[in-house]
Structure formats: C-alpha cells, structure tokens
C-alpha cells in the first residue's frame, strides 16, 4: 500500500514553537521554511533576528528527523509572498504529497497570502492558538513571540475558489508584467503550446498565414480571452490596427496563485 507523505509549508517570522510543535501532533516527513533571508535580508533591519529563528526552527525540525528546505523571499511584498508560497504548494501537490500550510507562523499579511493559496489549491490549513506571548527575551528565544505549551490547532475550513483553466493560466503568464502584450504574440505562443487545439499554418516563407491566424484568434477569443475579460483579469487596448492585452491587479494575483513563474 502506498504511503502518502505529509509536507508542511511554514512561512516563518519571529516564531518557533507554533512552527515546530504542530508537526508533533499532525505528523510530517518534510517541511518547507519560507522566510526573509538571502538577497532580501539587507532590506530590513531585523534580519539578524529573523536569521536566529530560521536556524532555531530548522534545528528543531531536524532533531525530529524532518527533512527541511529553506526558501528565501520578501514576505513583506504581498505578491511575492503569494508567488513563492503557491510555487512550493504546486510543486509538492504535483508529487502527490499531502500538503499542510501553517497560517500562524508569520504576521497577518502573510497569513492572508497563505490562506488565498491554500483555498485556491485546496490544501489543509491550520492556525495554532498560542497559550500566551513571550514575557521577555529569554522566552522569546526559547518559544518565539507566541508561546505554545500545548498546541491547540484550529483547522481552517475550505472555501471554494473557481480555478483557471490551463489555457487561462498560460495567457496570464504571458502577459504578466508592466507592458501590454500584442495579441499576435499570444496567438503564436498558443500555437506552440497547444498545437492539438490551435492549428496555425505557415506559408512557404515560414510566416503565419493570415487566414489561419484569424481562425486562431477567433477560437482564442471564444475559449479564453472573453472569459478572462469578463472576470476582470485582463483588459484590451487598440493602437491603430493592433490589439494589445494587459493584466489587471486582480489578474496578477490569480497568475501568482496558479504557481506560475511570473515575476
């Protein structure tokens, strides 16, 4: 019988006990620590304190025979937090792992980002209710800001979020960024990515045939673009005879939730 591995994703702030003790209760073979460090450390004055908690949590988990991987990200950037957390979730789910997401091991902003990712990808989320807060620096180093003597774990209920199709996610990944993208480029990308759906014919010079391109545009509009527009994820601009697409703020969040490589 196949054993399903439990993996915990822990966005980490100045916490220790609420990050470590849930694994004793829920079990787990692997943990991903997502924290501020590496190239992002110098942006913030308290990075040395963050480094202490990173090392402490990694050490505690390894003493429990838990495999640990550390990811550095600017967790004070909401979009960056969503992108990195979603990327780890998608990677583990694709490997068939049972994913747990800790919503209590960082501040409120990251908790919101984590919850959005958890709801979108239908993973198990939990919040650890602390017994109290650390009274002094000694307790803070030992437990983190939140003292968790006996972990009381609240499992966050799921909320249904409509997920994007593969074609919709691919569109958002193409146009993610500051500059609008010409519709023709999207057509070409779709012909390469989904040749079984979008048949693009070329002439003897290797250029797209106008008639073929128009058919693909019509299908692309019907299957993908009009739906993304109706959801408020993209907008169109017309410059002369050319049509450009740009992503909205709402579309950016969904692009990141999908675990794309958009940056």
Of 20-34, 84-98, 202-216, 242-256, give the lowest mean pLDDT range: 202-216
pLDDT for 206: 67
Confirm if 159 and 117 have CB atoms less than 8 A apart.
no
Mean pLDDT of the chain: 91
Domains of the chain: 6-156 (3.40.50.10770), 166-257 (1.10.10.10)
pLDDT for 261: 52
Helix axes 78-94, 249-257, angle to 10 degrees: 30
pLDDT digits (tens, 9 = 90+) for 168-211: 999 999 999 878 999 989 998 998 899 899 887 777 776 767 77
Q: What is the mean pLDDT of residues 211-232?
A: 91
The whole-model pTM stands at 0.88
pLDDT for 1: 53
- Classify the phi-psi angles of 206: left when phi > 0, otherwise alpha if psi is within -120 to 50, otherwise beta: left
The answer on pLDDT for 164 being more than 50 is yes
Helix, strand or coil, per DSSP, at residue 54: helix
Rounded to the nearest angstrom, the gap between the alpha carbon of residue 76 and the centroid of all alpha carbons in its chain is: 14
CA–CA gap between residue 11 and residue 73 (Å, rounded):
10
Which element (helix H / strand E) includes 82?
A: helix 78-94
The answer on pLDDT for 111 being more than 60 is yes
pLDDT digits (tens, 9 = 90+) for 45-72: 888 899 999 999 999 999 999 999 999 9
The answer on pLDDT for 262 being more than 50 is no
């Amino acid at each position: 019988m196949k054993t399903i591995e439990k993996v915990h994703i822990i966005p980490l702030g100045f916490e220790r006990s609420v990050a470590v003790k849930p694994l004793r209760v829920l079990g787990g073979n692997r943990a991903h620590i997502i924290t501020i460090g590496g190239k992002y450390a110098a942006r913030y004055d308290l990075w040395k304190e963050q480094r202490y908690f990173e090392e402490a949590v990694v050490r505690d988990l390894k003493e429990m025979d838990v495999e640990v991987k550390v990811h550095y990200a600017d967790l004070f950037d909401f979009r960056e937090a969503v992108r990195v957390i979603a990327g780890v979730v998608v990677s583990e789910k694709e490997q068939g792992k049972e994913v747990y997401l800790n919503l209590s091991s960082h501040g409120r902003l990251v908790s919101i980002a984590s919850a959005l990712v958890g709801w979108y990808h239908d993973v198990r989320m939990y919040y650890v209710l602390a017994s109290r807060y650390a009274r002094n620096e000694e307790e803070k180093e030992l437990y983190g800001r939140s003292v968790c003597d006996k972990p009381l774990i609240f499992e966050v209920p799921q909320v249904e979020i409509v997920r994007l199709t593969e074609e919709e996610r691919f569109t958002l990944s193409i146009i993610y960024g500051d500059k609008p993208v010409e519709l023709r480029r999207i057509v070409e990308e779709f012909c390469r990515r989904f040749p079984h759906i979008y048949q693009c014919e070329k002439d003897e010079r290797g250029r797209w045939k106008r008639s073929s391109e128009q058919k693909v545009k019509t299908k692309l509009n019907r299957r993908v673009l009009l739906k993304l527009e109706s959801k408020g994820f993209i907008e169109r601009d017309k410059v002369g005879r050319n049509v450009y697409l740009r992503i909205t703020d709402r579309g950016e969040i969904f692009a990141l939730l999908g675990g794309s490589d958009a940056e």
